[in-house]
Amino acid sequence: MLKQHLQFKLSQKLSPQQIQLMKLIQLPIQSFEQQILREIEENPALASGKEKEDNQDEFSNAEEDRGDVIEADDIDIDAYLSDDEIPEYRLRSQNYSADDEDKHVPYAAGISFHQQLMAQLDTFTFNEEEYRIAAFLVGSIDNSGYIRRELIDIVDDLAFTENIYTNEEEVRKILNDVQQLDPPGVGALDLQDCLLIQLNRKAHSTAVDHAIVLIKDLFDAFSKKHFSKIKQRLNIDDDELKAAMVEVEKLNPKPGAAYGSNTKINAHIVPDFTIQLIDGQLNLMLNGRNAPELHVSSEYRNMLSGYKEATQKNKEQQKAVQFIKQKLDAARWFIDAIKQRQNTLHQTMKTIMDFQEAYFLTGDEQKLKPMILKDIADRIGMDISTVSRVANSKYVDMPYGTKLVKWFFSEGITNSDGEDISTIEVKKVLKDVIDAEEKSSPLTDEQLMKIMNDKGYPIARRTVAKYREMIGAPVARLRKEL
C-alpha cells in the first residue's frame, strides 16, 4: 500500500566557493602556486598579469540586467576544483629572486640500487637456474638492503612465479653468494644477520673477534645493554668491551639506504610566512612572491557583451554564452577564494604571533604559552577546522629557525607557582635533564619525575614516560653507556 507524507529535514551543504576556499587554505605555498597555474591552464577566462579592470563593473551590471545568471548547482565544480591531494610542498624549491633566470635542476642520471646489484651478479659463476634464483633474491631486497621474507616463502614463490622447483637449502646457498655483494650487509634477513655479514668482511682483530661473538651469541644482551653479563661471558674488561662496541658502531644498519636517494633532488622547505624582528618590533609577511596576479579575461567579458548587443540570438549562441558565463563565474570565484585565503592565513598567523609574542621576541622556548586551536579560532572568529588547515601544512621562517606552524600549539600545565606553562617548555626541561645525566647510570622515570617536581613541574611518572618518548629518549636501560 502506497502512502504519501511530508517530512521536514534540515541539511547543510557546502557551496562550490566554500569547497574551493577550504582546498586553497590547506595548501602550502608551493602547492598553492601550482594550483594557480593549473587553474589558469584549465580556465581560459582566467588570466594572469596586470590588466585594467575598467570593464569589470560594466560586465557585472550587464550580467545582473539579464537576470539569467547560472546557478551554482548547474556548474560543474570539477572544471575548476582540482581533486589532486598529493602535496608537492617538499618536492620543489623556489629559491630564486624575481631577477634570476628560470632554472631547473635535472634528475641525476644513473642506475638504481637494484640495477647495481644485478650488475654485480655477472661476476659470479652461476648456471641458468642459479642465476634466476639469485636475480629473484636481489629483486626481493628492499631499499634498506634487507630481504624481509622467510626463505620457505621465497621457495614457494620461485615455484609459482618462476617455475623453479628448489628447496630452502639451495636458496640459502645462493643467498650466501648474494650477501657477498656490495654494499656490505646487503641481502641480510634481519639486523643481526646484517651486522654479522659486515663484521665477517672486516680484517680480523681482537676487537672485531669480540664484536662477532657479541653479535652472534650475545645479541639479546647487547641490545638490552646488559654490559656486566657480556663482560662475564666474554671474560673481558671495560676497555675491551668498548673496543668491540666501537667496531659495531661503525657498521651500517641500513646498507641500502646510501643508494636509495642518489637520484633524488634535495628537498627544501619554502616557508609560507616570514617573521622579522626589526628594532624590537615583529613584522609578519606572507610569502606570495611567485603567485601571479590574476584577473578575469577581458576577451571573455567582451564576448559576453557582444552577445548582449546582438539583435538576433540563436540556440548555438545561447549555448556559447552559457559556457562563457560558467568560466567567468569560475574565474571570479577563484580570484575571490585566493583573496580570502591570503586574508585567512595572514590573520591566523598574526594572531598566533601576538599570542606568542614573548617567544617571537626572544626565541626562548620557555616563554611559549599553552595554546590550542580553539584559542586562535575564538580570537579570529573562525572555525577550529580552518585554523587546523592553516597550522598543519604551513611553515614560518623566524630569526630562530623555520618551524611548522602547528609546533606552536600545545597543551598546558600549572607549575608550582600557579602559572600556566606550555608542555613544550616541560619537554625541553626534561630533555636538558636527560642530556645532563650520568650515562653510566641513567635516571629512571621515577627519578626524572622527582627532579622535574623539584624544578616546579608537577607531573606524574607516566607523564614523564610520555614526554620522554616524544623527545625520542629511550628508557634508562637503553640510555646506558660505558
What tens digit of pLDDT does each residue of 310-351 get? 656 667 777 777 777 787 778 788 888 888 888 888 999 999
Is pLDDT at 166 greater than 80 in this prediction?
yes
The answer on 354 and 320 residing in a single domain is no
Report the pLDDT value the prediction gives residue 389, as an integer from 0 to 100: 85
Segment among 3-12, 116-125, 408-417 with least mean pLDDT: 3-12
The answer on 122 and 229 residing in a single domain is yes
The answer on 210 and 140 residing in a single domain is yes
Mean pLDDT for 298-320 is: 68
100 within domain boundaries: no
Report the pLDDT value the prediction gives residue 481, as an integer from 0 to 100: 75
What tens digit of pLDDT does each residue of 407-464 get? 888 877 777 777 777 888 888 889 889 988 888 888 888 999 999 888 888 888 888 8
Segment among 90-104, 183-197, 309-323, 402-416 with least mean pLDDT: 90-104
> Where does the pLDDT of residue 5 fall: very low under 50, low under 70, confident under 90, or very high at 90 and above?
low
Report the pLDDT value the prediction gives residue 378, as an integer from 0 to 100: 92
Report the pLDDT value the prediction gives residue 352, as an integer from 0 to 100: 92
Query: Which residues partner with 395 through β-bridges?
Result: 404
Nearest alpha carbon to residue 425 among 353, 358, 354: 358
The answer on 244 and 163 residing in a single domain is yes
Nearest alpha carbon to residue 274 among 380, 346, 375: 346
Nearest alpha carbon to residue 88 among 41, 21, 46, 38: 38
Q: What is the dihedral of CA 307, 311, 314, 319, to 10 degrees?
A: 10
DSSP letter string over 263-297?
A: TSPPP----SEEEEEETTEEEEEE--TTSPPEEE-
Rounded CA-CA distance 16/35 in Å is 16
- Residue 27 cell numbers, joined: 595548501
Report the pLDDT value the prediction gives residue 81, as an integer from 0 to 100: 34
Nearest alpha carbon to residue 18 among 385, 406, 391, 405: 385
Helical residues (DSSP H) of 16-167, grouped into ranges: 16-26, 29-42, 56-66, 113-121, 128-139, 151-161
Q: What is the mean pLDDT of the chain?
A: 77
175 within domain boundaries: yes
Taking each continuous run of H as one helix and of E as one strand, the counts in the chain are: 21, 8
Question: Model pTM?
Answer: 0.52
1 within domain boundaries: no
User: Contact, 48 vs 40, CB < 8 A?
Assistant: yes
Segment among 56-65, 136-145, 415-424 with least mean pLDDT: 56-65
**Residues contacting residue 199 through CB under 8 Å, at least 6 positions apart:** 208, 211, 212, 215, 247, 248, 251
Report the pLDDT value the prediction gives residue 206, as an integer from 0 to 100: 87
User: Contact, 409 vs 373, CB < 8 A?
Assistant: yes
Report the pLDDT value the prediction gives residue 214, as an integer from 0 to 100: 85
- Residue 448 cell numbers, joined: 626524572
Q: Please report, rounded to a whole number, the percentage of residues in the chain having pLDDT higher than 90.
A: 7
Establish whether the linkage from the previous residue to 106 is cis, with ω within 30° of 0: no
The answer on 360 and 319 residing in a single domain is no
319 within domain boundaries: yes
158 within domain boundaries: yes
Could you tell me which residue, 99 or 272, shows the higher pLDDT? 272
Rounded CA-CA distance 80/328 in Å is 11
41 within domain boundaries: yes
Sign of CA dihedral 112, 113, 114, 117: positive
Of 408, 435, 460, which residue constitutes the final position of a domain? 408
Rounded CA-CA distance 138/186 in Å is 9
The answer on 398 and 356 residing in a single domain is yes
Q: Please report, rounded to a whole number, the percentage of residues in the chain having pLDDT higher than 70.
A: 77
Residue type, 201: R
User: Contact, 371 vs 355, CB < 8 A?
Assistant: yes
> Where does the pLDDT of residue 68 fall: very low under 50, low under 70, confident under 90, or very high at 90 and above?
very low
The answer on 428 and 394 residing in a single domain is no
> Where does the pLDDT of residue 298 fall: very low under 50, low under 70, confident under 90, or very high at 90 and above?
confident
Mean pLDDT for 63-78 is: 38
User: Contact, 295 vs 47, CB < 8 A?
Assistant: yes
Is pLDDT at 211 greater than 90 in this prediction?
no
Rounded CA-CA distance 39/36 in Å is 5
User: Contact, 46 vs 294, CB < 8 A?
Assistant: yes
The answer on 358 and 315 residing in a single domain is no
The answer on 322 and 350 residing in a single domain is no
Could you tell me which residue, 68 or 156, shows the higher pLDDT? 156
Helical residues (DSSP H) of 314-440, grouped into ranges: 315-355, 357-362, 373-380, 384-393, 423-435
Q: Domain span at residue 44?
A: 16-87+292-336
Rounded CA-CA distance 325/327 in Å is 5
Please give the tally of structural domains in the chain. 4
What tens digit of pLDDT does each residue of 222-273 get? 888 788 888 888 888 888 888 888 888 888 888 887 665 444 444 577 888 9
User: Contact, 411 vs 372, CB < 8 A?
Assistant: yes
Bridging pattern class, strands 273-278 and 281-286: antiparallel
Rounded CA-CA distance 428/467 in Å is 10
Nearest alpha carbon to residue 77 among 11, 33, 29, 14: 14
Report the pLDDT value the prediction gives residue 364, as an integer from 0 to 100: 85
The answer on 468 and 424 residing in a single domain is yes
- Backbone phi, psi, residue 276, to 5°: -110, 145
401 within domain boundaries: yes
Q: What is the dihedral of CA 312, 315, 320, 324, to 10 degrees?
A: 80
